[in-house]
Structure 1
């Protein structure tokens, strides 16, 4: 898979948009010529200007930078609040927090949602909760999603002319629907895949 992705990257401008933290995705993929958008597009780094193998260098954009401290505070609160729920796991994705409940016994899954809602209400910071596949995502109040990240990538990579763009987006979660919509609006020739 890694060799295939390297070949695709050699032939086409390639970007990865993920709900995970950009550093996690870069460490997993390890290809410097890819544009990375982590935290559901809230943390974007373009490969075009980077000279090193580090995703930390190069052009970047973080539309929710001012909420970073709040996200960390809520992550710590959620760690404590979910500690007694067997199977619940948390992931700090820098600009969002993922609360996974796929390993929580069915009879306790509703409790996970209650805990997330209670922590968000108590924080009073305006953070919002969205749902993915067996996961609750806690995000800043910034109006931004994977679709907005795709628009940003297309515009900043020089693909403004819809007649010359053929974006292909592959995703497997509800949070990818925004990106599918953007790709469909970009050109009538777009294909998208969802597993």
Structure 2
């Protein structure tokens, strides 16, 4: 029988249980993969308000001088770069569909193109059906479209869910939905996610060697694919407070927990020394 999945409350803390965390590194050099929202910035009501603090920006830059640092986000890659104000990191946007490095520019891969018409049609459909609903935020991206409903009256939540179901039925076999924190992410139905993107980056950047330990910090359901990919070969750290109902009871494949972006900054500062 499989052991029950861990939750945030079950996990050791990456700062408070520092000896256990350091033992996982085992003298290897880290390669750090970071989600953006909820990790480098707190979750906010409006996506455009998620601006990185000066202290976090300085910490990420200092860490990048010490070891490889990649940002892996559901956001559009160019949007993440603008919000961070950092243009010399590897960034995988749109859940890894759009990968860019400062040395090579766009890093092409088979999953990264060919979906613009599909996403445009889906975006138009969502705007037509839900654009007038107060609080709805429809965020088109290079290879997906996000439907945010954090500011929507709870009475309208069934309507948003029903619209997503209707769109999936209309484009059956072409789309999948990835739920997140008060957001539905509609993506092309292919075998690609943040975990696959991390695997691809480890190989492409020459980081898949025994002397490298990949660390992945994320807070959302979409980050679980990366935690699973790194199980047994790296370290997954989920960012979320044990009292946060959006995180606390959710099963996770992460190895450690941090409660907030402020604690993320403390850990990254330690790694940067």
Partners of 1:184 and 1:122 in 2: how far apart? 36
- When residues 183 and 124 of structure 1 are mapped into structure 2, their CA distance, relative to the original with a 3 A threshold, is closer
Residue 18 in structure 1 maps to residue 18 in structure 2: no
Structure showing greater relative contact order (alpha-carbon pairs closer than 8 Å, 6 or more residues apart): 2
Matched residue SS, 1:167: strand
TM-score using structure 1 length: 0.88
Q: What does residue range 1-195 of structure 1 map to in structure 2 within 5 Å?
A: 1-49=56-104, 57-61=105-109, 63-124=111-172, 126-161=174-209, 163-187=210-234, 190-195=235-240
Partners of 1:64 and 1:36 in 2: how far apart? 14
Q: Name the one with the larger helix percent.
A: 1
Gaps of 5+ in 1: 50-56
* 1:52 corresponding residue in structure 2: none
Partners of 2:165 and 2:147 in 1: how far apart? 11
| 1:124 Cα deviation from its structure 2 partner | 4.8
| 1:65 Cα deviation from its structure 2 partner | 0.8
| 1:35 Cα deviation from its structure 2 partner | 0.7
TM-score using structure 2 length: 0.64
Moved more, 27-36 or 4-13: 27-36
- When residues 168 and 176 of structure 1 are mapped into structure 2, their CA distance, relative to the original with a 3 A threshold, is same
| 1:101 Cα deviation from its structure 2 partner | 0.8
Moved more, 114-123 or 143-152: 114-123
Q: Decide which structure has the larger Cα Rg and report it.
A: 2
| 1:26 Cα deviation from its structure 2 partner | 1.1
Partners of 2:63 and 2:138 in 1: how far apart? 32
Partners of 1:46 and 1:185 in 2: how far apart? 27
Cα pair 1:20 1:93 within 8 Å, conserved: yes
Partners of 2:106 and 2:126 in 1: how far apart? 33
| 1:175 Cα deviation from its structure 2 partner | 0.6
Cα pair 1:129 1:137 within 8 Å, conserved: yes
CA RMSD across the alignment: 1.7
Name the count of aligned residue pairs: 185
